[in-house]
Amino acid sequence: MVYFVATPIGNLKDITLRALETLKEADVIFCEDTRHTLKLLNAYEIKKPLYACHKFNETAAAQKILEAARRGEKVAVVSDAGTPVVSDPGNIVCKTLREAGEPYTVIVGACAFVAALVLSALPADRFAFLGFLPDKIGEKRAFLERYKDSDLTLAFHSAPQDIDKDVATMYEVFGDRSAAAVREITKIHEETVCFRLKDGLQGEKRGEYVLIVEGAAEKECALNALSEVEHIKHYMALGMEKKEALKRAAKDRGVSKSELYPFSIDL
């Protein structure tokens, strides 16, 4: 069996009892950086064989994980911090296991963008996690263009050397919006800075960031510039029955059907 195990994103005490149990019972652990994972294991006096599974060798590592699972071994897969696969290696492993019909499961736990979403105080009922932006400015801009009209709160990861360019490009594509930059999550120096995209993120940039950006404001329907009669006739001209045209126009204008009904009587 293969277990994808979430590990702390900062504070080592944020590991779950189930995660510790899984790591202790594992025959082998595949990790993003063996040196990083060794610190976690040493903190809980766990000694296990460690093998690398990172973005440069994931395809080969996936085969080794599959072979180990087929031998009946318990295999744990971890990333440096948080939940594997989410902006971390592991997706190729999942795909390999799924295609081979080998079962796997997730030992849930910490996830940085979820914590940042809470800390930002921006709407969290509907959101999209978009990970790291492309490196090249043109590709970065093109990627953001796909989401500029979305009313979802947007979550991104950003490295300290990239965050100024990321924020500047967001302002260029999205215009001015509220945002929050969250770093050192669960650590002593945890920090959440709320700012406007037009102002950029001030101060020295240190540590990995999660950027939370508010979604696009709802745009006023262009048809609302028409008169009530013209609005209803617009939908009727598209082939709708008067009743349906009245319903659509009322929804556009944010009013009840009864308010628009008098304008439809003679149509």
What average pLDDT score do residues 195-211 get? 95
Question: In a 3-state reduction of DSSP, which class is residue 126?
Answer: coil
Residue 218: pLDDT band with limits 50, 70, 90: low
Name the least confident of 7-11, 167-171, 261-265.
261-265
Q: Is the pLDDT at 223 greater than 80, yes or no?
A: no
Q: Are 96 and 22 in contact (CB under 8 A)?
A: no
Residue 203: pLDDT band with limits 50, 70, 90: very high
pLDDT tens, 32-59? 999 999 999 999 999 999 999 999 999 9
Q: Which domains does the chain have, with CATH numbers?
A: 2-110 (3.40.1010.10), 113-213 (3.30.950.10), 222-264 (no CATH)
Q: Give the neighbor-by-neighbor strand order of the sheet with 104-107.
A: 50-52, 28-31, 75-78, 2-5, 104-107
Q: Are 207 and 160 in contact (CB under 8 A)?
A: yes
Tokens of 218: 């709802």
Q: For residue 173, is it left (φ>0), alpha (ψ between -120 and 50) or beta? A: alpha
Residue 236: pLDDT band with limits 50, 70, 90: confident
Q: What is the pTM of this model?
A: 0.79
